Amino acid sequence: MLKPNKFFNIGCLLLLFLLNSCSKNPEPIIYGDDNCEYCKMLITNPAYGTELVTDKGKIYKYDSIECLAAYSAESNKEEIASLWVTDFGNPGNLINLDSALFLRSEKLRSPMGLNLTAFSDEKTLQDIISKHSGERLTWDEIAEYVREEWDE
């Protein structure tokens, strides 16, 4: 029977490390401990945390959709692997921005005050609109809105 040598074991560990370090997936936000990369505020509200993952697997965390939008607008798009937002209907659960639905509502106060919220499904979004009203937005509309509001 063949015994793996120590170089083989080290090589396997190195390969596993490299594969994990280049992940395009988010990591859990530690509310009350992690700070927003953009505004530097403490991330405290599990209904609003967001993340940007670079093509090299580096993760940047934000306290709101507005901070994510502002930071990503200033970033090199080629280096962004994925963007993640919290599902308002399931606080603490990050969903890929590509599948998220967005709402701007004065009744849902986001940490940075532009009142932007994300949802993973149409039913929850419609339920919130019927209770709190608001305007449904696309990611491009959010990026434009943040730029207009914060560049004044």
The answer to whether residues 50 and 83 touch, using CB atoms and an 8 Å cutoff, is: yes
pLDDT 10s digits, 65-75: 999 999 999 99
88 lies in some domain: yes
- Cβ neighbors of 13 (< 8 A, separation 6 or more) are none
19 located within any domain: no
Q: Is residue 53 part of a domain?
A: yes
* Mean of the per-residue pLDDT values of the chain: 89
pLDDT digits (tens, 9 = 90+) for 27-66: 999 999 999 999 999 999 999 999 999 999 999 999 999 9
Residue 16 in any domain: the answer is: no
- The reported pLDDT for the residue numbered 24 is 84
Domain coverage including residue 73: 25-150
Residue 30 lies in a domain: yes
Domain count, the chain: 1
Task: Say whether pTM exceeds 0.85.
Answer: no
Most confident region among 23-27, 74-78, 115-119 by mean pLDDT? 115-119
